[in-house]
Structure 1
């Protein structure tokens, strides 16, 4: 049996019913509202260095993954043209398992049927600290759930 690779990239797509540009702006400009949209996933987020909107700012997240409270400190990169947010892991629970842990959210507009306005392309770039550690599939599941809840919050806010 072949050993799992030490590094890789997981990907997934989530259909968006709210406008992808609005979704990007939540991450880009109002990340402090994310716990309101998804309290089951994100309990708090704070700016550690910089401000909410600055490229390269450092944020500290408190979240729940598979019923366990964890923390994550990241340095954020924004690409306004591609509507992409990349979180570069610095410290926290995931960094006990991964040398590199970079979640990426890309929000793409698409004309679709059934209220679909676009898609969130999700990815996690990772490198494990030890070959026995699993790939970050539970964190991809977390990203999918978070994306769906924030999308529902955006749609609900538009209806209110």
Structure 2
């Protein structure tokens, strides 16, 4: 499924907000990075290396463009990729949203933390991020990047 113009615009706006949360950022698009665990090259759509609140941080970003909501196996595959790459955080976008199980898996993944964001129709729910002291919206990038997942 190819994303619509509206979905692409939401994706671009969301990435812009994400990058604005960094003090400094080096962004690499559509490249292969060697897995630190597997030694195999892993394709990443967007890899951000930078600093947030003076601390170095690496975030991998991917977007799933499928007709059905992203399932738990896709989220688990993304978590494994983040671990292999040594990324501190990951942001997973979906054009069709997430199943409840996939949203729960993303929200409760802590090392590395995963943020699941739906860029589907406006009525599509965004997956809440579970944190100590309350929950925020999935677009709460500053909190997601600045503090360790709990």
Instruction: State the TM-score, normalized to the length of structure 2.
Output: 0.38
Instruction: State the TM-score, normalized to the length of structure 1.
Output: 0.37
Q: Which structure has greater strand proportion? A: 1
In our comparison, the structure showing a higher alpha carbon Rg is: 1
Between 1 and 2, higher relative CO (CA 8 Å, sep ≥ 6) is seen in 1
